[in-house]
């Protein structure tokens, strides 16, 4: 039948109008018709083949971009893990002084045994296989609110998780995200400003892609920062403009330092285009206070900077009574006319907080006051990737709309999230899921590192990994004040495990200091 | 406890070595300490705020990149769909001449009612909620091989889909992909050459990112092509070098045309770096024959082009007896020494074929003969995005290792995949899931389009959409020979539906031609 429709179009008038837009720069316009000689294609095999894609001719910013969170340390850790596995499999003699690798390099809660929220997984399970809804045993396995929620979500996606959604995300989910933001902030949120993404990283990259034209575009980022920012700015060929957080004041963010950084950028001919704030902080774990946030917003408004608010740790605020999480959107809206028009993009993710569903790659961003035409470009970038993965989008929906009081799943949900909070409140940071301790290295250790061509803190971390199996990330990957050294570690290992981790680190540290003193 | 570990490091020797690599270009080295005056932050509200991010100052290649598959047509279609929905909800008078939008713009099988494979979804369902494994009713819902497979997959991911996997993907899955390739091609495949990705698009973009430094780097792409290529090459600031497929010969790929295109590129000072082949073709649906593939491989080898083989439609070969799918890897390996060293990257996806799990965003690429250092850069790019979504990775595993004869799920699997094949074999294309019919437009229609600032085929497609609700993509988005016009349509609507679609298109076409003749 289809053949019929296709051949219908062959016997009608022709036209000779030129090509439409988006044509290859070079194509068959001259019709050169070079003669083709198959034998000319045969290689001279005496000539050895030299690769066409080498380190000398790949995109230079790919080479210069660095990403410490999964860098050298992790590659060493993975090879040690393999060694351990083989040892255990072949029952050969133990050659390593530890039995397992503890991955404290990345906030990956479920790898470190944080349990997923039962309600979330039950709903996903039904969405993956809706056939179960017809099973006679269904209500023996799933609570009724799980079944209702799964039906509701399935209804919003044509009853399958297997179709592309709209590029901006499932409409039902963007609507629920907007409602979540509204009730969190007490200010309206428009679903058409919400873009769902495969984790927050993709969203951050999409906005940076718009902002960066060349080396003369600068993005203000904290020192220390999360390496996604430095890596992406480098990859896109822009300039990182660092502002230092004050370690002595609990990694506080001070406006004079922002002013200094901005001025230095302008003096260097680099136009500052946006300010990145990670709140609660990664790797530092600090939460900003309200007055500070207001000053930051005023600063951005005064200097016409787009404010990029990385708020993926909003659920990880451990001193909630003292410092509840406040979003930058709320601060901007509360300030009202004073900062009218400020462009703000806020990022959130399902990977952190009590959800901790890193593997799902779910996230969203909210655009505030972004120019309509620019928003259309953001949509286009999203559409080139077709759509964020649908399961990840469903997790976003579950995160922003968890079970409420009165629903059968509420009690379990409540208990599970409390357990997760309790297991971390014994730790010092106010937010996020990391600690960023400073290490004071002996001069001889620094020299030794230099001799080996390593950053001194990287040298320390490699030694730590090889001695204890604990994988952390050197501070140099995040940026740190001249002459100071740090490492970032998650404090996600379970309560029993973290005791062991601390002992191992302390033990290693004494030995290391003794060796190089 | 953790506090203890952290504070251990404060009373030891300090060092003053400078910063490690990857520092912001600008940071607090001078310590300018500008005085801070809060009142200076207050905006003069009489001054109206002009946006900082506008079409005049965003990254120019974002603006020039175009992506037709989800472009203007789809935006119109979505607004029409909204209108229909409101009509139905409010029971208001019908203002549109159709009751539904038929999305033929994109290969999205499950949106057009292709059923997911039961076995796949059952396994995923268990992986999402392993708690079910302990249910007394489990074996009344799931066949035993589903349970076994879910346990096996869960064992490979620490029993949760919620943790980040390695950046290259789950080791268990890359191993199974390599086995799949080995048994398909009869040549070895190394799991360390397999990179899992969020759909094939991400993989394609990652390789193009490496290849493109600036406008002087050219990528040979077919005309017509899949707009991911043109959009990405533009976005990364490279040059598209088009070679035309021969419509008269069933969209055949002819070496003289490749030679012409290559020469034209070199003459223009653009270094050709890679050749993209989409086989089976998108949007054209053709499958290459073996001799042709050998010539293409020789051509790449002779000219030191990286061969990028987009083989996502390998399962969509509808004339299997006549022309079974042959991978470029197999051709390269069969040719052996003659094309020794040729760099090849092959892409595959779970979105197409009988799997059709677009929403899952699963895919992989295999690297052949890629330089080791370059491979490390590919790994780094992958790590910046942390990892592909885990559910998508599991779907890849299921795709490359479906149930086999003797397993309880085999019969259903067999029946389901046959049904999918049968429902499409009535259509003309040899592979892929699209048709790309030519339309001959009357001069007056071309003029009218011009007047409206539209490509003539886009003008035709918008009219088609508004008259019939059928959403297709204008050929200009894919590239077409000068003076010819086409549109791309999927032939995925169900057999009954496609009859209606054809009638509606034919009816519209007569009226359109009559109007502009």
d(CA A177, CA A433): 23
- Whether residue A27 and residue B479 make contact (CB cut-off 8 A), yes or no, is yes
Q: Which of A381, A400, A419 is the last residue of a domain?
A: A400
Taking contacts as CB-CB distances below 8 angstroms, the residues of chain B near A477 are 20, 22
Distance (Å) of CA B504 to CA B75, B95, B109, B274, B510: 21, 18, 21, 41, 10
Taking contacts as CB-CB distances below 8 angstroms, the residues of chain B near A2 are 426-428, 435, 491, 498, 502
d(CA A488, CA A435): 6
CB B226 within 8 A of CB B279: no
Residue B13 lies in a domain: no
- Whether residue B221 and residue A441 make contact (CB cut-off 8 A), yes or no, is no
Long-range contacts of A499-507, Cβ-Cβ distance < 8 Å, separation of 24 or more:
A499/B1, A501/A102, A501/A104, A501/A470, A501/B5, A502/B1, A502/B2, A502/B4, A502/B5, A504/A98, A504/A468, A504/A469, A504/A470, A505/A464, A505/A468, A505/A470, A505/B5, A505/B8, A506/B4, A506/B5, A506/B8, A507/A468
Same domain, B378 and B470: no
Same domain, B231 and B330: yes
Determine the Cα angle at B45 with ends B43 and B49, to 5°.
Answer: 80
Q: CA nearest B341 in A: which residue?
A: A49
- How many domains in chain A? 2
Q: CA nearest B221 in A: which residue?
A: A24
- Whether residue A342 and residue B49 make contact (CB cut-off 8 A), yes or no, is yes
Eight-state DSSP code of residue A15: -
Domain residue limits at B320:
167-400
Please say if the pLDDT value at position A254 is more than 80: yes
Query: Tokens 């370690």 belong to which residue?
Result: A247
- Whether residue A369 and residue B302 make contact (CB cut-off 8 A), yes or no, is no
Taking contacts as CB-CB distances below 8 angstroms, the residues of chain B near A446 are 15, 17
Please say if the pLDDT value at position A447 is more than 50: yes
Min Cα–Cα distance to chain B from A325, Å: 23
Nearest by CB to B377, which of A63, A221, A259? A63
Candidates A186, A110, A121; CA nearest to A493 is A110
Residue B357 tokens, joined: 């799990």
Amino acid B320: pLDDT? 56
pLDDT in tens, B4-35: 333 333 333 333 222 333 445 555 444 433 33
- Whether residue B241 and residue A341 make contact (CB cut-off 8 A), yes or no, is no
pLDDT in tens, B48-80: 788 999 999 999 999 889 887 667 888 888 889
**If DSSP codes are grouped into helix, strand and coil, which group holds residue A300?**
helix
Return the number of CB contacts < 8 Å for A and B.
634
Taking contacts as CB-CB distances below 8 angstroms, the residues of chain B near A228 are 384
Same domain, A334 and A392: yes
Same domain, A194 and A74: no
Min Cα–Cα distance to chain B from A175, Å: 15
Say which residues have a Cβ less than 8 Å from residue A503's Cβ, sequence separation at least 6. none
Same domain, A351 and A466: no
B147 alpha carbon, distance to own chain's centre:
31
Amino acid A26: pLDDT? 59
Residue B42 lies in a domain: no
Tell me the H-state helices in B217-273: 227-235, 255-267
d(CA B360, CA B161): 13
Residue A417 lies in a domain: no
Amino acid B36: pLDDT? 40
d(CA A263, CA B502): 64
Residue B49 lies in a domain: no
Same domain, B96 and B224: no
Do the strands A438-439 and A470-471 form a parallel or antiparallel pair, or are they unpaired?
Answer: unpaired
Say which residues have a Cβ less than 8 Å from residue B159's Cβ, sequence separation at least 6. B130
Which of B389, B452, B495 would you mutate first to test chain A, the one with the most A CBs within 10 A? B389
Q: 10 Å Cβ neighbour count for A338?
A: 16
The torsion angles phi and psi of A195, rounded to 5 degrees, stand at -120, 120
d(CA A511, CA B6): 16
Nearest by CB to A263, which of B11, B32, B165? B32
Taking contacts as CB-CB distances below 8 angstroms, the residues of chain A near B517 are 13
d(CA B356, CA A113): 33
- Between the two ends of chain B, the Cα-to-Cα distance in Å is 84
Domain with residue B446: its CATH number is 3.90.1150.10
Residue B409 lies in a domain: no
- Whether residue A239 and residue B443 make contact (CB cut-off 8 A), yes or no, is no
Average pLDDT over residues B291-304: 96
Taking contacts as CB-CB distances below 8 angstroms, the residues of chain B near A34 are 256, 259-260, 263
Same domain, A353 and A473: no
- Whether residue B51 and residue A513 make contact (CB cut-off 8 A), yes or no, is no
Q: Which of A358, A378, A400 is the last residue of a domain?
A: A400
- Whether residue A440 and residue B14 make contact (CB cut-off 8 A), yes or no, is yes
Do the strands A271-278 and A470-471 form a parallel or antiparallel pair, or are they unpaired?
Answer: unpaired
* Positive or negative torsion for Cα A154, A159, A160, A164: negative
Q: CA nearest A12 in B: which residue?
A: B440
Residue B151 lies in a domain: no
Amino acid A316: pLDDT? 73
Residue B77 lies in a domain: yes
d(CA B139, CA B121): 16
Average pLDDT over residues A366-376: 95
Min Cα–Cα distance to chain A from B214, Å: 8
Domain with residue B329: its CATH number is 3.40.640.10
Residue B117 lies in a domain: no
Same domain, B216 and B270: yes
Percent helix, strand and coil across chain A, each to the nearest 5:
45, 10, 40
Please say if the pLDDT value at position A235 is more than 60: yes
Taking contacts as CB-CB distances below 8 angstroms, the residues of chain B near A60 are 213
- Whether residue B491 and residue A2 make contact (CB cut-off 8 A), yes or no, is yes
Taking contacts as CB-CB distances below 8 angstroms, the residues of chain B near A387 are 358-359, 361
Min Cα–Cα distance to chain B from A306, Å: 7
Taking contacts as CB-CB distances below 8 angstroms, the residues of chain B near A340 are 43, 45, 49
Same domain, A346 and A390: yes
Same domain, B457 and B390: no
Say which residues have a Cβ less than 8 Å from residue A248's Cβ, sequence separation at least 6. none
A36-51 core/surface letters (b: 16 or more CB in 10 A; e: else): beeeebebeeeeeeeb
Amino acid A7: pLDDT? 31
Which of B59, B101, B270, B342 would you mutate first to test chain A, the one with the most A CBs within 10 A? B59
Same domain, B268 and B337: yes
Q: Which pTM does this prediction carry?
A: 0.87
- Whether residue A28 and residue B162 make contact (CB cut-off 8 A), yes or no, is no
**DSSP letter string over A164-205?**
---TT--HHHHHHHHHHHHHHHSS---GGGEEEESHHHHHHH
Say which residues have a Cβ less than 8 Å from residue B75's Cβ, sequence separation at least 6. none
Average pLDDT over residues A250-266: 93
Which of A1, A2, A42, A146 would you mutate first to test chain B, the one with the most B CBs within 10 A? A2
- Whether residue B50 and residue A210 make contact (CB cut-off 8 A), yes or no, is no
Q: 10 Å Cβ neighbour count for A490?
A: 24
Q: Which of B400, B420, B445 is the last residue of a domain?
A: B400
Strand partners, A219: A240, A274
Determine the Cα angle at B494 with ends B490 and B500, to 5°.
Answer: 85
Taking contacts as CB-CB distances below 8 angstroms, the residues of chain A near B53 are 210-211, 273, 306, 343, 370-371, 374
Min Cα–Cα distance to chain A from B29, Å: 8
Q: CA nearest B135 in A: which residue?
A: A141
pLDDT in tens, B450-505: 999 999 999 999 999 999 999 988 988 888 888 899 888 887 666 667 777 888 88
Amino acid B49: pLDDT? 87
Share of chain A above pLDDT 90, in %: 57
Strand partners, A102: A470
- Whether residue B58 and residue A210 make contact (CB cut-off 8 A), yes or no, is yes
Residue A39: pLDDT band with limits 50, 70, 90 = very low
ipTM computed for the complex: 0.86
Say which residues have a Cβ less than 8 Å from residue B12's Cβ, sequence separation at least 6. A439, A440, A441, A442, A513
Amino acid B216: pLDDT? 96
pLDDT in tens, B131-182: 999 988 888 899 999 999 999 999 999 899 999 999 999 999 999 999 999 9
- Whether residue B199 and residue A435 make contact (CB cut-off 8 A), yes or no, is no
Min Cα–Cα distance to chain A from B185, Å: 23
- Whether residue B242 and residue A1 make contact (CB cut-off 8 A), yes or no, is no
Same domain, A334 and A240: yes
Candidates A62, A399, A432, A471; CA nearest to A226 is A432
Helix (H) or strand (E) holding B493: none
């Amino acid at each position: 039948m289809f053949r019929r429709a296709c051949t219908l179009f062959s016997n009608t008038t022709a036209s000779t109008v030129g090509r439409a837009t988006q044509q290859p720069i070079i194509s068959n316009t001259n019709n050169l018709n070079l003669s083709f000689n198959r034998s000319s294609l045969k290689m001279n095999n005496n000539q050895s083949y030299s690769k066409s894609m080498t380190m000398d001719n790949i995109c230079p910013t790919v080479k210069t971009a660095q990403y410490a969170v999964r860098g050298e340390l992790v590659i060493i850790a993975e090879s040690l893990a393999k060694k351990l596995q083989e040892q255990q499999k072949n029952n050969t003699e133990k050659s390593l002084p530890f039995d397992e690798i503890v991955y404290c390099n990345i906030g990956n809660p479920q790898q470190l045994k944080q349990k997923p929220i039962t309600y979330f997984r039950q709903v996903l399970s039904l969405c993956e296989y809706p056939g179960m809804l017809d099973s006679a045993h269904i209500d023996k396995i799933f609570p009724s609110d799980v079944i209702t929620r799964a039906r509701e979500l399935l209804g919003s996606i044509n009853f399958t998780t297997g179709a592309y959604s709209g590029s901006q995300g499932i409409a039902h989910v963007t609507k629920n995200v907007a409602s979540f933001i509204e009730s969190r902030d007490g200010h309206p949120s428009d679903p058409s400003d919400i873009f769902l993404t495969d984790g927050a990283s993709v969203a951050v990259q999409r906005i940076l892609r718009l902002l960066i034209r060349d080396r003369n575009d600068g993005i203000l980022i904290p020192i220390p920062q999360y390496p996604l920012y430095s890596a992406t700015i480098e990859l896109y060929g822009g300039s990182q403009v660092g502002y230092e957080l004050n370690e002595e004041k609990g990694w506080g963010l001070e406006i004079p330092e922002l002013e200094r950084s901005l001025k230095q950028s302008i003096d260097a001919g680099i136009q500052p285009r946006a300010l990145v704030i990670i709140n609660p902080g990664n790797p530092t774990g600090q939460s900003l206070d309200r007055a500070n946030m207001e000053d930051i917003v005023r600063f951005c408004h005064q200097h016409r900077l787009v404010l990029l608010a990385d708020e993926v740790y909003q659920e990880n605020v451990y001193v909630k009574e003292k410092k509840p999480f406040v979003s930058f959107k709320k601060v901007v809206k509360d300030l009202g006319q004073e900062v009218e028009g400020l462009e703000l993009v806020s990022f959130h993710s399902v990977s952190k907080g009590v959800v901790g569903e890193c593997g799902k790659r779910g996230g969203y961003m909210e655009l505030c006051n972004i120019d309509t035409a620019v928003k259309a470009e953001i949509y286009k970038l999203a559409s080139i990737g077709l759509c964020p993965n649908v399961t990840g989008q469903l997790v976003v929906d579950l995160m922003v709309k968890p079970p409420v009081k009165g629903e059968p799943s509420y009690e379990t949900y409540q208990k599970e999230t409390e357990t997760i909070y309790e297991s971390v409140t014994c730790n010092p940071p106010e937010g996020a899921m990391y600690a960023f301790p400073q290490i004071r290295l002996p001069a001889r250790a620094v020299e030794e590192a230099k001799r080996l061509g390593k950053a001194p803190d990287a040298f320390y971390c490699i030694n730590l990994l090889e001695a204890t199996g604990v994988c952390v990330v050197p501070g140099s990957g995040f940026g740190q004040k001249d002459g100071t050294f740090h490492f970032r570690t998650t404090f996600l290992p379970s309560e029993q495990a973290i005791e062991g981790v601390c002992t191992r680190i302390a033990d290693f540290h004494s030995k290391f200091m003794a060796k190089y003193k």
